[in-house]
């Protein structure tokens, strides 16, 4: 197959590109590097089937030649990012999705939208099934991301029903693994960075709020299963293993053998109280369930962060412009 991955130099997108190349597909990776990093896919540049293109999908998207699969993963995905670039977040969820769908329609390609558990907001139903409409504050600080994804879902279904585009929607719950940015503001990279540095581990509020965390390799398996199916979704993808943030912080301190203490900070506005996927549809329709235990995933992620720390990745400046250009030029 020949696949286009938007946001392919980001955390999830880079793992997806890697998996597609590993199974023998050709990949065109599109990214504007607003939150992605060309270093995430630098190791794929030697692969003859891989091509990295600097492109903003909110502009017109054109890819020469046939395309079998369009995976739309372009978007800021952490609160610190979409609060920093709210307009860009709204544009990539709306205009970017429109252009990615247009590419799929032009090429008669299968289209998969990376939606999010954030469409459920601060849920009043627990765990969250796909039939739940959500409890979202459209004018809150998180609204730019939540509403961008809700719009993207509606647009995807409109293209399916109006233009007969072969579309699918996955709602991705909290995912973690190597290549997460240590400064992206999400709990796991934040806890790991602080624990490895011996700093206080900051837990928002009393830490009783829960999340369900899925290791990235399991998530990628689910995306590929969705891409290879004819299911329209939306389908929840995530690990039903639910954990309180305070317990997660203490677990990471233990796994890193850190002397860090837990410090409680103010809880963000509209921070969801609970988050757990009902994954029965994924099991029944895609034959998928997570396989990697959370502890094993945490150990792998900690090992990767420790390796980056040893290479001074936390203090080194970003790739020099000439290095970035060299990667882009192959």
Q: What tens digit of pLDDT does each residue of 2-37 get?
A: 999 999 999 999 999 999 999 999 999 999 999 999
In a domain, 218, yes or no: yes
pLDDT number for residue 33: 96
The per-residue pLDDT for range 273-288, each reduced to its tens digit, is: 999 999 999 999 999 9
In a domain, 247, yes or no: no
In a domain, 40, yes or no: yes
In a domain, 302, yes or no: no
Residue 82 bears catalytic tag: no
Q: Total structural domains in the chain?
A: 1
In a domain, 301, yes or no: no
In a domain, 235, yes or no: yes
pLDDT band with cut points at 50, 70 and 90 for residue 200:
very high
The percent of residues in the chain predicted with pLDDT above 90, rounded, is: 86
Angle of CA points 225, 91, 34, to nearest 5°: 80
In a domain, 263, yes or no: no
The per-residue pLDDT for range 85-96, each reduced to its tens digit, is: 999 999 999 999
What's the rounded mean pLDDT across residues 49-72? 96
Residue 153 has pLDDT above 90, yes or no: yes
What's the rounded mean pLDDT across residues 92-109? 98
The percent of residues in the chain predicted with pLDDT above 70, rounded, is: 94
pLDDT number for residue 271: 87
Mean pLDDT (the chain, rounded): 92
pLDDT number for residue 270: 84
The per-residue pLDDT for range 244-261, each reduced to its tens digit, is: 999 999 999 999 999 999
In a domain, 189, yes or no: no
Name the β-bridge partners of 27: 3, 50
The catalytic residue among 120, 145, 159, 215 is 145
- Domain of residue 132, CATH code: 3.40.50.720
In a 3-state reduction of DSSP, which class is residue 329?
A: coil
Range of the domain at 37: 2-176+214-240+273-291+319-328
**What CA–CA distance (Å, rounded) separates 35 from 13?**
11
**What CA–CA distance (Å, rounded) separates 252 from 196?**
9
pLDDT number for residue 312: 63
**Residue 124 CB-half CA count within 13 A:** 5
3-state secondary structure 131-186: CCCCECCCCCCCHHHHHHHHHHHHHHHHHHHHHCCCEEEEEECCEECCCCCCCCCC
């Amino acid at each position: 197959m020949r696949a286009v991955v938007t946001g392919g130099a980001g955390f999830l997108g880079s793992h997806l590109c890697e998996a597609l190349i590993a199974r023998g597909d050709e990949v065109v990776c599109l990214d504007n590097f607003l939150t992605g990093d060309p270093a995430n896919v630098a190791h794929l540049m030697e692969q003859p089937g891989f091509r990295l293109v600097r492109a903003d999908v909110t502009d017109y998207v054109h890819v020469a030649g046939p395309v079998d699969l369009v995976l739309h993963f372009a978007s800021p995905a952490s609160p610190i990012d979409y609060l920093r670039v709210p307009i860009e977040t709204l544009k990539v969820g709306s205009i970017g999705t429109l252009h990615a769908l247009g590419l799929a329609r032009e090429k008669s390609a299968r289209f998969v939208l990376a939606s999010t558990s954030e469409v459920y907001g601060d849920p009043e139903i627990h765990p969250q099934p796909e039939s739940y409409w959500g409890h979202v504050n459209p004018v809150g600080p998180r609204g730019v991301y939540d509403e961008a994804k809700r719009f993207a879902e509606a647009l995807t279904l409109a293209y399916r029903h109006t233009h007969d585009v072969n579309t699918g929607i996955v709602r991705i719950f909290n995912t973690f693994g190597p290549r997460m940015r240590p400064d992206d503001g999400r709990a796991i990279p934040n806890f790991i960075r602080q624990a490895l540095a011996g700093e206080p581990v900051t837990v928002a509020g009393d830490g009783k709020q829960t999340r369900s965390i899925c290791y990235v390799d399991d998530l990628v398996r689910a995306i590929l299963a969705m891409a290879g199916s004819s299911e329209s979704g939306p389908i929840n993808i995530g690990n039903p293993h639910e954990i309180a943030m305070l317990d997660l912080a203490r677990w990471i301190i233990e796994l890193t053998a850190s002397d860090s203490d837990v410090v409680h900070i103010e809880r963000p506005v509209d921070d969801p109280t609970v988050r757990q996927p009902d994954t029965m549809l994924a099991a029944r329709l895609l034959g998928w369930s997570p396989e990697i235990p959370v502890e094993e995933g945490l150990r792998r992620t900690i090992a990767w962060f420790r390796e980056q720390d040893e290479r001074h990745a936390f203090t080194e400046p970003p790739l020099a412009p000439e290095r970035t250009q060299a990667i882009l030029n192959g």
